[in-house]
Amino acid sequence: MSPLARKRLGKILLNGAGVAVFIYAIFPVYWMVSTGFKANDQIFTTDFIPFPTHFTFEHFERVLTEGVAGNSIWLYMRNSAIVAIGTVLIGSLVALLSATAIARFRFKGRGTFLIVLLIVQMIPAEALLIPLFLNVKRLGLYDQLLGLIVIQIGLTLPFGIWMLRTFVAAVPKTLEEAAWIDGASRMTTFWKVLFPLVAPGLVATSIFSFITAWNELIFALYLMSGSEGYTMPVALQFFFGQRGTDWGAIMAGSTLMTLPVVVFFLLVQRRMVSGLVAGAVKG
């Protein structure tokens, strides 16, 4: 084989492998979405039906209008959104303050704090379920979305601080010093100089916390008692009990739950890169 032919063959093999990885990664997601659009005769079959030729919205319609376990799917979506947004709003403010402290100041105990931060990130949330369950009960927050929000803030904060820290550190100190020299107070410097520059990082961190809180199953399952307060991950479990296994409805439901995450995820990837790359002094 001539070197040129070998090179071309190598390229074909390489691209073939790329296509294979692409299919491996995306097929299960595609299978979820396409099952949601298939009529039942194409779902409950031992044959392989790659495309929903009997295309239907019936499952999505049923999920959206009838809901599951006696409640509308919008209620579960709303609960999930409340928990996730509440976590993000409070959590990212706290994370920003802490991240500023460790990225901008050298103080006694800073090293210890960073190590503690790394270690608490690794405490399994599943292990904390039992004590947190009892605390939530004692505080009267059982079966309340507020209880879930408080816990999610705790679970997402260590990583949030860790992630934001690099964004704060990436903002050149000279900008703040310039503002100081011009007579700006510490608060003004923080809000007018640091905050706008850290904003992309804050968005990335917030989206991360949003996704974590949106996806969380175990606390949402055990800290709520009635189906009124359940979030989407818990609601999905009910489809399995209802009328045998209604795969069309499950796939429609999990597609609805996955959609916002995928959108946010694709957003955060870009933001993270741009947040890290975009320099403020270059202009």
Partner 1 sequence: MANTSTIARGGDQSPAPGRRRRSSARPNRASGLPPWAVPYVLLVPGLLVIAGLLLYPLFQLIVMAFQKVGIPQIKGTRPAEWVGWDNFTRIFDNDIFWSSLRNTVLFAVIAVSLSLVVGTAVGVLLHKLGKKMSLLVVVGCMFAWAVPPVAQGVIWRWLFDADAGIINWALNMLPDGLSTALFGRADWTGEPWLNDAFSLYVVLIFCVVWAGFPFIAVSVLAGLKGIPTELYEAARVDGSGAWLTFRKITLPLLKPVFAVLTVLSIIWDFKVFSQLYVLMNGPTNREGFNLSMYAVAEAFKAPPKMGSGAAISVVLTVILLIVTVFYVRQIVKQEEM
Q: Is 262 in the site for partner 1 (CB under 8 A)?
A: yes
Site for partner 1, residues 19 to 58, rule: CB under 8 A: 21-26, 28-29, 31-32, 35, 43-48
The total number of residues shown for the chain amounts to 283
Q: Is 161 in the site for partner 1 (CB under 8 A)?
A: yes
Using the minimum distance from each CB to partner 1, give the nearer residue, 71 or 216: 216
Site for partner 1, residues 131 to 150, rule: CB under 8 A: 131-135, 137-138, 150
In angstroms, give the least distance from the CB of 71 to partner 1: 17
Q: Give the residue, chosen from 252, 254, 271, 275, that forms a contact with partner 1 under the rule CB under 8 A.
A: 254
Dihedral pair phi/psi, residue 148, rounded to 5°: -65, -40
The two tokens of residue 191 are 């809000």
Q: Is 181 in the site for partner 1 (CB under 8 A)?
A: no
CB proximity list for 181: less than 8 A, separation 6 or greater: none
Q: Is 195 in the site for partner 1 (CB under 8 A)?
A: no
DSSP label of 71: B
Site for partner 1, residues 53 to 92, rule: CB under 8 A: none
H or E stretch covering 84 = helix 73-104
Q: Taking the chain, what is the end-to-end CA distance rounded to the nearest angstrom?
A: 53
In angstroms, give the least distance from the CB of 70 to partner 1: 19
Q: Is 217 in the site for partner 1 (CB under 8 A)?
A: yes
Using the minimum distance from each CB to partner 1, give the nearer residue, 51 or 283: 51
Q: What is the 3-state secondary structure (H, E, C) of 183-242?
A: CCCHHHHHHHHHHHHHHHHHHHHHHHHHHHHHHCCHHHHHCCCCHHHCCHHHHHHHHHHC
Q: Which of the ranges 62-70, 153-161, 170-178, 191-199 carries the binding residues for partner 1, by CB under 8 A? A: 153-161
